[in-house]
């Protein structure tokens, strides 16, 4: 009578899968993109009409710019991290998601550069008076306007485009519960419409209508980040294929 050989523990227990690590990193990047929320208060002084010729502190603006740089890089991180997974569903759409996230980051950097230029002028020319003060106020307003429109095109418009692309990929693949991408797919057209209305002056850029239209996108991105961190990807044909590609032969019988 033969006795079956017991496999060592390291053969019977497959390692943490690469898909779980990918989901965790992507989820963390998504949550990091919310660190710029305090900029709503940090930029209150720098956007003032007379900031460029005032003696007010600019530390808050510098911290706000720093947080937005982190957001821009984290946004690219979400796309780069998810690309190897979602490209198995549709490579063209996945590449479009990377491109839209990169464009969003570029617009964020444009806005940050504009405010940093304003801060530099404030530090160097903050004591100007008379005619020089009037011209500087105009220059300062120009920098603020550049930031506002970069924000509208970057952090307002592009998240709607991102939601359409990634939401479609995740809905079709089943990588996450479909209720999550549905939130993004419903919110994206509303948000994009609000941005277009803002561009034509129909609604206020920071009015209640624009804020309500942006809420579903915020819920979609935050809930996706939390789900990826806590749960990871749902089992589906994509995760099965990736697991098959990365699992050593010794563990395949165990997984089966």
Residue keyed to tokens 């206020």: 204
Name every residue whose Cβ is closer than 8 Å to that of residue 86 and which is 6 or more positions away in sequence.
93, 94, 97, 166, 169, 170, 173, 175
> Do 86 and 167 form a contact (C-beta atoms < 8 A)?
no
**pLDDT tens-digit profile of 204-237?**
988 899 999 999 999 999 999 999 999 999 999 9
Give pLDDT, residue 121.
87
Best CA proximity match to 154, nearest among 204, 106, 199:
106
What is the band of 91 on the pLDDT scale with cuts at 50, 70, 90?
very high
Phi and psi, residue 103, nearest 5°: -65, -40
Token pair listed for 253: 């019988």
Higher pLDDT, 81 or 17: 81
d(CA 130, CA 77): 47
CA-to-CA separations, 209 to 33, 184, 192, 214, in angstroms, rounded: 23, 18, 12, 9
- Of the chain, the percentage scoring pLDDT greater than 90 comes to 66
- Of the chain, the percentage scoring pLDDT greater than 70 comes to 86
DSSP H helices in the chain: 9-12, 18-32, 39-42, 59-86, 91-125, 130-151, 158-173, 179-199, 208-230, 237-246, 249-255
Token pair listed for 129: 């008076």
pTM of the model: 0.86
Name every residue whose Cβ is closer than 8 Å to that of residue 52 and which is 6 or more positions away in sequence.
118, 121, 122, 125, 126, 136, 137, 139, 140
**pLDDT tens-digit profile of 135-157?**
888 888 999 999 999 999 999 99
d(CA 50, CA 121): 12
Give pLDDT, residue 130.
54
Output the CA angle 33-38-41, nearest 5 degrees.
145
pLDDT mean over 3-25: 62
d(CA 40, CA 14): 46
d(CA 166, CA 37): 23
d(CA 167, CA 104): 17
DSSP 8-state assignment for residue 15: P
pLDDT mean over 105-128: 87
Give pLDDT, residue 129.
55
**pLDDT tens-digit profile of 35-73?**
989 988 889 888 887 888 877 788 889 999 999 999 999
Best CA proximity match to 187, nearest among 152, 153, 154, 211:
211
Give pLDDT, residue 13.
39
Residue keyed to tokens 């965790």: 24
């Amino acid at each position: 009578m033969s006795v079956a050989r017991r496999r060592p523990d390291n053969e019977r227990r497959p390692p943490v899968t690469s898909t779980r690590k990918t989901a965790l990193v992507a989820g963390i990047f998504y949550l990091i993109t919310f660190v710029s929320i305090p900029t709503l208060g940090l930029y209150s002084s720098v956007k003032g009409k007379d900031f460029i010729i005032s003696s007010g502190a600019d530390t808050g603006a510098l911290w706000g710019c720093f947080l937005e740089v982190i957001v821009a890089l984290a946004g690219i991180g979400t796309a780069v991290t998810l690309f190897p997974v979602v490209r198995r569903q549709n490579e063209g759409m996945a590449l479009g998601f990377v491109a839209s996230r990169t464009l969003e980051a570029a617009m964020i950097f444009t806005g940050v550069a504009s405010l940093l230029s304003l801060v530099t002028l404030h530090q160097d020319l903050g004591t100007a008076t008379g005619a020089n003060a009037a011209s500087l106020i105009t220059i300062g307003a120009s920098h603020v306007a550049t930031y506002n429109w970069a924000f509208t095109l970057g952090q307002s418009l592009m998240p709607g485009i991102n939601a359409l692309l990634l939401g479609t990929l995740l809905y079709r693949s089943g990588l996450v519960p479909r209720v999550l991408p549905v939130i993004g797919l419903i919110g994206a057209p509303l948000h994009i419409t609000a941005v277009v209305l803002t561009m034509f002056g129909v609604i206020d850029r920071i009015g209640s209508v624009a804020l309500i239209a942006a809420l579903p996108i915020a819920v979609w991105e935050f809930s996706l980040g939390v789900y990826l961190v806590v749960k990871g990807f749902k089992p589906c044909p994509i995760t099965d294929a990736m697991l098959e590609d990365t699992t050593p032969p010794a563990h395949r019988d165990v997984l089966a």
